[in-house]
Chains A and B, each alone.
Chain A
Amino acid sequence: GAGVSQSPSNKVTEKGKDVELRCDPISGHTALYWYRQSLGQGLEFLIYFQGNSAPDKSGLPSDRFSAERTGGSVSTLTIQRTQQEDSAVYLCASNVRGNTEAFFGQGTRLTVV
């Protein structure tokens, strides 16, 4: 597609439920990042995919968080047993390769009630 696409744009879920967030990167971009942004805060790194290499999961805050990238394209971030502190905007970004401009999606605003 023309840009990075994320869905849903908004998600309200009950505490304890699982959620899946989707990211469609720009075609041809081999690198994909997930970040989390809480109100008034910077971007918190979550996970990084590069081609067929093993992902860098060093930013995932707990084992309730996981992500996969199928076929080197679409990525899904899954949060199990959601907690209120998981409420944030989840941003996905992709770029052609490391150390180049990253293109961000519009984000998914997750609210856990």
Chain B
Amino acid sequence: GQNIDQPTEMTATEGAIVQINCTYQTSGFNGLFWYQQHAGEAPTFLSYNVLDGLEEKGRFSSFLSRSKGYSYLLLKELQMKDSASYLCAAYPSGGSYIPTFGRGTSLIVHP
């Protein structure tokens, strides 16, 4: 089975940097996704990490350490529109393509 942990809520100030952590415990692992979900909307894809290291994509970056079962999403130059829930999802190995999602981290950006 898989277990995903991430903080329930975080707050930050517009223009600042915030790091959202995600730890996972899996019987097998084949990649980690981050999704953004605004209230009342569908989750949308942000990033995918398979190998250790940092993947940078504009203001958003995602990091993975497979040995530590740890990932983080880094958001720079925060904007009000970044207020949303951020979902971490781990894909298992072994031929099962069903990702397990964390409960999501609700990020509130203040002016």
Contact = CB atoms under 8 A, between A and B. Distances in A.
Interface of A: 4, 31, 33, 35, 41-43, 45, 48, 50, 56, 59, 91, 97-99, 101-107
Contact of B42 (A42, A45, A50, A105): A105
Interface of B: 4, 30-31, 33, 35, 41-45, 48, 87, 89, 91, 96-104
A98 B93 CA distance: 10
Nearest to A3: B42
B91 A106 contact: no
A18 B21 CA distance: 40
A104 B102 contact: no
Contacts of B44: 104
When A and B form their complex, which 6 residue pairs have the shortest distance between CB atoms, in order from nearest? A98-B97, A42-B103, A104-B42, A43-B101, A101-B45, A42-B101
Nearest to A44: B101
Contacts of A91: 42-43
Given A48-B97, A56-B98, A99-B91, A104 B43 contact: yes
